[in-house]
Structures are given as structure tokens and as C-alpha cells.
Amino acid sequence: MSGSQTARPTFNDDLFAAIRRLMAPLRAAPWWLKVTLLYAAARLVSFLILAGAAWHAGASPWGGDRPDYLTFINRWDAGWYERIFNGGYPTSIPRNADGTAQPNQWAFYPLFPLLARGLNSVTGLPWMVAGPLVATVAGFAAALMIYVLFRRFASPTTALWGVAFFAMFPIAPILQVAYAESLSTFLLAAALYLLIRRRYWLAVPVVILLCLSRPAGVPFAAVVGIHLLLRWWRRRSEPFPVREMVSGVVLLVVSGFMAFAWMLVAWWVTGDRSAYTDTETAWRGTHLQLFLPWFNAGVKLVGPLWGPLLPVLLVGLAALYLNSHAVRRIGVDLTVWCGAYLLYLLAVLDPQSSTFRMMLPLFPLALAAAFISTSRAYRWSVLLMFTVLQIVWVVWLWQFTTINTGVSWPP
């Protein structure tokens, strides 16, 4: 046989060639169609994972063995949103005999259940359908908005991979259950996009809605403040017109006010000045303590000697990563947002199993992850890893399994 004879194609070669031919029309498709198909595929994967977990789920406070899909996802915070959907907020804070607040609806912001209620009024769909439907559509809007935002910094292909990482993130099933995360992510992406585009007036109503969906006003106000300071610092080389100064300051003031607006609403309705903060800390069993819970968690994990150093180590690692080349490529504003949000979590969050879900606003880091390498092997490996971690997250946290405290870890 001649050494120059061409090797015959294998079955795998034929298979990959057929796949490439099938995918060829998609390469020329408009960006919104690509994002739509990507998001639909991601939600199908999450549906299969959730449905599979439901098939193996035991009885819980929300239903019996092997609940159907809609029953299975209507638990944890979704149940609180359902109470708001059905009856609104209490006019007084329920309290224990020692005066501490009991868990109640005031810990949950109103925009998401209000949209579900509006859908119910128009279509008659019950909460079990309306809640997940609003969440899934909002997640789709978030995917589209995130692509538009990412295109400010990346090529179409890399931006699409960034959206893929977001849509398949380990806690991505939350985008299709009746939680407010998908809605707040859409509004956050829109607000960041408008800030970067310097459309400050347009950002004002978006920020108002954002702060009525999830508590994001404090870190967003910090980002706006740093953004304006940097523009002022560079005003000689980069014009900063007076009209933009005025609109930027208005956005800063609105963001700062909206950071506390829901607290004021809770105070006004209940007549209890600490209604919101007492409710937020009801699940902890303690009053609000800034930063301290992280050090306490460190002590519980690794002991009193090294425990207090654990949060310091986390801060150091976060600072190093935010200063990495891949993260710097997402731009100053998105990097500052990630840093401000992490600092906010460090200040107010009691670290627990829901911490994973609260990392979703760090979605700009999905683009940084796509910047790390253009290798298809790397990018597909990340998606595969995220899929496996989705299974871990759903099976570990979404199912109800009582632990030694008599309760379960919430997602």
C-alpha cells in the first residue's frame, strides 16, 4: 500500500461532518435566535435534572413522595412568594414571645409576585403555572440582555459562550422556578448596560424596578458613585458634559434611596421601624451583624485558630481574581460591580447554603470565564462541569432532607 494513500474516513469523522452540516445554517442565524435556542436547550437540561430529582424525592412539607414537576419546584422561597401572590404582606410583624420576629413575607420583594399576579389576572393561570412562567420568561430576557451587554467587550462567539456559561451555571435551574433571581438578573443586566452606555436617565426607572425585585441598591449605588468619580477624574481627556453630570447624580441619588426604600415601605405599612431588618434576620435567630457571620462560619469550619483567617483568605483570592487579565477584559464598571457586590455579601450575608444562589448577580464573570481560553475543549468542559454541578445543587439542596437541626438546607 502506498504511503501517500489517503486514509478512509471513520464513522466519527462522518458523524462530526454531519453535525457540522446541520449546524451550518445556525452560524448565519441572527444573534437573538442563537441566544433563544441556547437558553431553551439550557432550560431543557435543567428541567430534566429537576424532573429526575422529583421522581426520587421523598415527602416534604410541600407534598408527598414523587411530586410532579410543578409541585417539586414550588417550594422554599417560592412558597413565600405564593403567599404574597395570594394575600400580600402582613400589616404587623409576627413575633415570638421574646420579641424576635418570625419569618414572614416582608423579607421578599414585591415585583416578581406582582407580575405573576398580573399574569393571573389576564390569563387565569394559577400560581403554580404563573410563577415559573414569569421566572422563565424573565430568564430569557436576561439571557438576551446579557448577550447585548457582553457584546460591548467581546466578539459574537465569545459573548455567546458567556451567555452559555450563565444559562448553564450550577444554580441556573433557579431561572425557571418561582424565585425572583431571573427577573432581578434581567434588570441588573439592563441597568449595567445603560450605565456603561451613559444613558443615566433611562437607567433610573430600571434601577427602581431592580430594587423592587431583589436587594441590590447598595452595591449598585456604589458602582454608580465610582463610575461618576472616574468620569470626573478623566474629564480633561474625556468630556463629561454638565447634563450628564446632572443625570448621573440623579441616578446615584435614586440608587441610594432605593437601597432603603423597601425598608421604609415595611416601616410605613407595619408602623415598625425595624420591620424589614428584623424579618431578614428571623431565619438567623440573631440581630443583623455586619461581617461577623463570616468569621463565625470560619471558626465552625476550621476551628478557632484558622477560622478567623478564612474570610480574609477569601477576600484575598477574590481580589486576585478580579485583578486577573480575563476579568479586566470585561471593563471597569462590570469589575467594580462584581467587587462591590462581593463586599456587600461579605457585609450583610449570613453564609449558608443559599449563598450559592446569591452568586448569580456575579454573571459578568461568565464572560471572564469565556475569555480564559478560546479552546473548544475548555469551553465545552466548563459546560459539562456546570451540568454535573447542577445535578449536585438540585439533589443536595432542592430536595428536602432533614438534618440534625430538624430542618433542611434551603437552595
pLDDT tens, residue by residue, 55-87: 988 888 888 899 999 999 999 999 999 999 999
Grid cell in block for residue 65:
413522595
pTM of the model: 0.93
- Other Cβ atoms within 10 Å of 382 Cβ, number: 19
Which of 28-32, 255-259, 405-409 is the least confident region? 405-409
| Comparison of pLDDT for 28 and 40, the residue scoring more | 40
Tell the residue number behind the cell numbers 431561572, with chain if given.
Answer: 175
Burial 300-318 (b: 16+ CB within 10 A, else e): eeeeeeebeebbeeeeeee
| Burial class of 149 by CB neighbour count within 10 A (0 to 12, 13 to 18, 19+) | buried
The 10s digit of each residue's pLDDT in 355-399 is: 999 999 999 999 999 999 999 999 999 999 999 999 999 998 888
- pLDDT per residue as tens digits for the range 191-239: 999 999 999 999 999 999 999 999 999 999 999 999 999 999 999 899 9
Looking at the predicted structure, is the pLDDT value of residue 2 above 80? no
Please, what is the end-to-end C-alpha distance for the chain in angstroms? Answer: 63
Tell me how crowded residue 157 is: count the other CB atoms within 10 A of its CB. Answer: 13
Give the mean model confidence (pLDDT) for residues 241-262: 97
Q: What angle do CA 197, 203, 208 make, to 5 degrees?
A: 155
Q: Is the pLDDT of residue 9 over 60?
A: no
How confident is residue 4, by pLDDT bands cut at 50, 70 and 90? very low
Does the pLDDT at position 308 exceed 80?
A: yes
| CA–CA gap between residue 111 and residue 178 (Å, rounded) | 12
pLDDT band with cut points at 50, 70 and 90 for residue 410: confident
Beta strands in 53-163 (DSSP E): none
pLDDT classification of 1: cutoffs 50, 70, 90: very low
- Of 370, 369, 372, 322, which Cα lies nearest the Cα of 342? 322
Confidence check: pLDDT of 25 > 80: no
Residue 95 has pLDDT above 90, yes or no: yes
Residues 6+ away with beta carbon under 8 Å from 241: none
Cα(71)–Cα(54) distance, integer angstroms: 9
What number of helices (H) and strands (E) belong to the chain? 18, 0
Q: What is the pLDDT of residues 176-196, one digit of tens each?
A: 999 999 999 999 999 999 999
* Helix or strand run (H / E) with residue 287: none
- The whole-number pLDDT of residue 319 equals 95
The pLDDT, as a whole number, for residue 394 is: 94
If DSSP codes are grouped into helix, strand and coil, which group holds residue 101?
strand
CA 229 vs CA 3, 221, 224, 240, 257: distances in Å: 69, 12, 9, 11, 19
Grid coordinates given for 7: 486514509
DSSP one-letter string for 199-219? -HHHHHHHHHHHTTTSS-HHH
How would you class 44 by CB atoms within 10 Å of its CB: exposed for 0-12, middle for 13-18, buried for 19 or more? exposed
